[in-house]
Structures are given as C-alpha cells and as structure tokens.
Amino acid sequence: MQPSQPPPLPPPSPSPLYLKYLREEDMPQAFPDFLSSLPLEEGWFPTSLRSYQGFWLPSWILKPILTCQNHFQADPSDVLLVTSPKSGTTWLAAILFALVNRAKYSDSCSQRSHPLLTQNPHDLVPSLEFNLYLKEENPNLAALAPPRLFGTHMPYSLLPQSVRDSNCKLVYLCRNPKDNFVSLWHFVNKLRPEEKGQIPIQECLDKFCRGLSPCGPYWDHVLGYHKASLEMPEKVLFMTYEQMKVDPHVQVRRLADFLGCPFGEEELRDGMVEGILRMCSFENLTALEVNKSGKLSTGEDSNWYFRRGEVGDWANYMSAEMGERIDGVTEEKLHGSGLKL
Ligand code: PAP
C-alpha cells in the first residue's frame, strides 16, 4: 500500500548531478523510508523505478517532483513543454524557444547570436524535475523573463497544483509508442557501461508493455494529457511527432496560435516559419559544435539527444511480432479515447 503523504523533504543534496544515473542504494540523498515504502522495479533503465500514484518514476526524480509540487508557482504566461521521455522533447524545445523569442532574433545581426547556436535546447527550456528542482530546493525562477519556458516529463496527475490552477499553457508532444520505445532503448544503452553491451531489446519490450518505463505506463501518460486537451483546449495543446514530420509548417503555426503569438502576414511572407524550422531541424542542430561535443548544464552529453530523428525507425530494431505486441497494448489502452497513434 502506498502512503498518501510523502514525508517532509530532506535538505537538497550536494551530490553531483550524474548521481541521477546511479542505482537507488548508491544515492546518498534519497529519503530512504519513503522510497522503500513504494513498489520497486529494477527496470531496464539504469536506476530503479518506483511506483508513485500510478506511475513508474526513476527513484531520483521523486524528490525533485515532490519539491516542485511544493514550491513551483506557475505564472499565467508560463509555457510547459510536456513529453513522455524520447517523444521529441529536444526538437520541440528548440522550436518553442525560437518561436517565442523570434522578435528578438529577427535580423541577421541578432541571428548570429541566437542562443540555439551555442546551447542545447534542453538548457533553454530547462526541465522542472530533471534540472531546476534537481539542482536546488527552491530555484529562483521569479527572475526569469516571461514567458518562462519549462520542460517536464511529469504525468498530468502529478503536475504541481499551481500549474493546473493557473492559466499557463501546456504543450504536449506525443510520439508513436514503437519509435518512442526504440529511442528509449537506444538511450538506455548509451547509459550502460560499454563492457556490458546492449540490453536485450526483448527484455525491455516486455517491461515497456507492462508499463515499466520512466514516467510510464507510456499510454497512461499520453491519455492523461489527451483527456486534458479535450477538456481544456485553450490550456493544453496535444501535438504529435509524426504530424510535425509530415507538416511542420502547419504544426508550428498551430503552436503559435495556441500560445497567443500567431505569425503575422509579414512574418509569413518573410519566411519566418521556414527559418525557425530550418534552424531547429535535426540536420542543423546536429551540425552545431555545442550539440556534437558539448554538455548540458546537467552533465549529459548533448549528442545523447540526437540519434536518427525519423518516423518508423522501430522497424530496424524490432520484428513485426514485437511491433504487433506494442500495437496490441496501444489498442487496448486507447480503446474509447478517440485517440489513434
Ligand atoms: P528527452 O525526452 O530525453 O529529452 P527527446 O528529445 O524526446 O529526449 O528524444 C530524442 C529523440 O528526438 C531522438 O529520437 P531517435 O532516437 O528516434 O532518433 C532524437 O533523434 C530526436 N530528435 C532530436 N532532435 C530532433 C530534431 N531536431 N528533429 C527530429 N527529431 C529530433
């Protein structure tokens, strides 16, 4: 049984951020009694997963999530980019940043100093739980100029109350579960020591289909935001990676409209949408030194967030039967929701 209330949070840990990829028993900061009261799964992810209020969370993000729930004060002008891990966060973070800051970097001189040229999109749209509240108990976010852009992988039901109560906007990006799974599997392999080799994909698939993935079950994560987008279309925008690939121009305009900063006639004539898409394209971002050899402020290699960036890549790693297994869960889980992936 899960305790309904977590205990008071311990003081922030001075431990380096790379600790987040350690196993639970090696984490000095964890609040052990609370953690050990939650169902545990030694997942295919390097850290253990703990079940908290219906979702499997890497042990080390429970504390930042709870801290964020306690402290984060949403502002009506805030924009939260929400994803299940590996749904295209990096891409949409870049687009979001370029979109809301487009007036600042519209001429050729300011374009040369565009922050996307020297920073990974994750540092421009920092994650609440993987960055800000992991580093500090109460980061000074009031100093940030509006609109503040944040990323999060938190399920809808775990968002801080202030996010739900305020008029801030949520942009949810969803990706086909087969590509999402394969992208996650590759990422997990990057985190493993080389001598251990790749973790068998079949083993990971079994766990993924049982809901055991970071912030999973994947389907419950998606459904939480899909439902919210139907109920509150002015607050939650539901987008997909695949739509972005098929018609990025339409999707970026849709995003701008939703955020209340639609493109004007002149901007459209001047090719502003195309410029943003070019700047944030996989080809452009991966050609930048910062993304080839730089590191995020949280310590990860920037290039971990870029691999192939394609739709349907799952078929290069999974058999048709494995794909059908995911399709089966998707059909079952999404039944009656009106959502097709
Ligand atoms: P995160 O949730 O941990 O931040 P996220 O950015 O969602 O990771 O996932 C990375 C995926 O987005 C990778 O997919 P792949 O493994 O299937 O290749 C990565 O290649 C893809 N990606 C990153 N940047 C772009 C981009 N500019 N355009 C398209 N896809 C991208």
**Ligand 1 lined by 291 (C-beta under 6 Å):** no
**Calpha distance 90→290 (Å, rounded):** 14
Residue 284 has pLDDT above 50, yes or no: yes
Using the structure block, give the residue that is written with the tokens 């922030």. Answer: 12
Q: Answer whether 47's CB lies under 8 Å from 58's CB.
A: yes
Q: Which atom of ligand 1 is nearest to the CA of 90?
A: 6
Tokens matching residue 80: 């939260």
**Residues 108-129, mean pLDDT to the nearest whole number:** 93
Task: Work out the pLDDT band at 7, boundaries 50, 70, 90.
Answer: low
User: Known catalytic residue: 153?
Assistant: yes
**Residues 78-92, mean pLDDT to the nearest whole number:** 98
- The DSSP code for 128 is I
Residue 115 buriedness (CB in 10 A; 0-12 / 13-18 / 19+):
middle
**Ligand 1 lined by 242 (C-beta under 6 Å):** no
Based on its alpha-carbon atoms, the radius of gyration of the chain, rounded to whole angstroms, reads 20
Tokens matching residue 263: 């493109």
Alpha helices per DSSP H over the chain: 32-36, 59-71, 89-100, 108-111, 121-124, 133-135, 161-165, 177-191, 201-209, 218-231, 241-246, 248-258, 265-269, 272-279, 282-287, 289-293, 320-334
Using the mean position of ligand 1's atoms as its centre, give its distance from the Cα of residue 32 in Å. Answer: 33
Catalytic residue, chosen from 71, 122, 153, 249, is 153
| Domains of the chain by start residue, with CATH | 55-178+215-311 (3.40.50.300)
List the single range of 61-70, 102-111, 148-157, 296-305 with lowest mean pLDDT: 102-111
Using the structure block, give the residue that is written with the tokens 């929701």. Answer: 337
**Ligand 1 lined by 306 (C-beta under 6 Å):** yes
**Calpha distance 154→231 (Å, rounded):** 19
Q: Phi then psi for 222, rounded to 5 degrees?
A: -60, -45
**Ligand 1 lined by 179 (C-beta under 6 Å):** yes
Using the mean position of ligand 1's atoms as its centre, give its distance from the Cα of residue 295 in Å. Answer: 16
Instruction: Choose the residue to mutate in 296, 306, 311 for probing ligand 1, maximizing ligand atoms within 8 Å of C-beta.
Output: 306
Using the mean position of ligand 1's atoms as its centre, give its distance from the Cα of residue 184 in Å. Answer: 10
**Calpha distance 255→238 (Å, rounded):** 10
**Calpha distance 312→190 (Å, rounded):** 21
Query: Strand, helix or coil at 57?
Result: strand
The CA distances from residue 334 to 157, 177, 326, 340, in Å, are 18, 12, 12, 7
In our burial notation (b when 16+ CB lie closer than 10 A, e otherwise), range 21-34 reads bbebeebeebeeeb
Q: Cβ of 338: how many Cβ atoms within 10 Å?
A: 9
State the pLDDT at residue 24: 60
Q: Which atom of ligand 1 is nearest to the CA of 85?
A: 2
Instruction: Give the pLDDT confidence of 37-69 residue by residue, as tens digits.
Output: 899 998 787 788 999 999 999 988 888 899 999
State the pLDDT at residue 164: 94
Instruction: Give the pLDDT confidence of 15-36 residue by residue, as tens digits.
Output: 344 445 545 655 545 566 778 8
Tokens matching residue 130: 């993987």
**Ligand 1 lined by 86 (C-beta under 6 Å):** yes
**Calpha distance 330→336 (Å, rounded):** 12
Short-list 13, 25, 16, 55, CA closest to 38? 55
Going by CA atoms, what residue is nearest to atom 24 of ligand 1? 91
**Ligand 1 lined by 85 (C-beta under 6 Å):** yes
**Ligand 1 lined by 89 (C-beta under 6 Å):** yes
State the pLDDT at residue 60: 85
**E strand or H helix at 132, and its extent?**
none
Going by CA atoms, what residue is nearest to atom 9 of ligand 1? 86
Using the mean position of ligand 1's atoms as its centre, give its distance from the Cα of residue 241 in Å. Answer: 10
**Calpha distance 210→118 (Å, rounded):** 40
State the pLDDT at residue 12: 44
**Residues 107-129, mean pLDDT to the nearest whole number:** 92
Instruction: Give the pLDDT confidence of 311-328 residue by residue, as tens digits.
Output: 999 999 999 999 999 999
**E strand or H helix at 50, and its extent?**
strand 49-52
State the pLDDT at residue 102: 96
**Calpha distance 307→15 (Å, rounded):** 29
Instruction: Give the pLDDT confidence of 222-274 residue by residue, as tens digits.
Output: 999 999 999 999 999 999 999 999 999 999 999 999 999 999 999 999 999 99
Query: Strand, helix or coil at 240?
Result: strand
Helices vs strands, H then E, count in the chain: 17, 7
Mean per-residue pLDDT over the chain, rounded: 90
Cα dihedral angle (160, 163, 169, 174), rounded to 10 degrees? 20
Using the mean position of ligand 1's atoms as its centre, give its distance from the Cα of residue 177 in Å. Answer: 14
**Ligand 1 lined by 105 (C-beta under 6 Å):** no
Residue 2 has pLDDT above 80, yes or no: no
State the pLDDT at residue 28: 47
Q: What is the pTM of this model?
A: 0.92
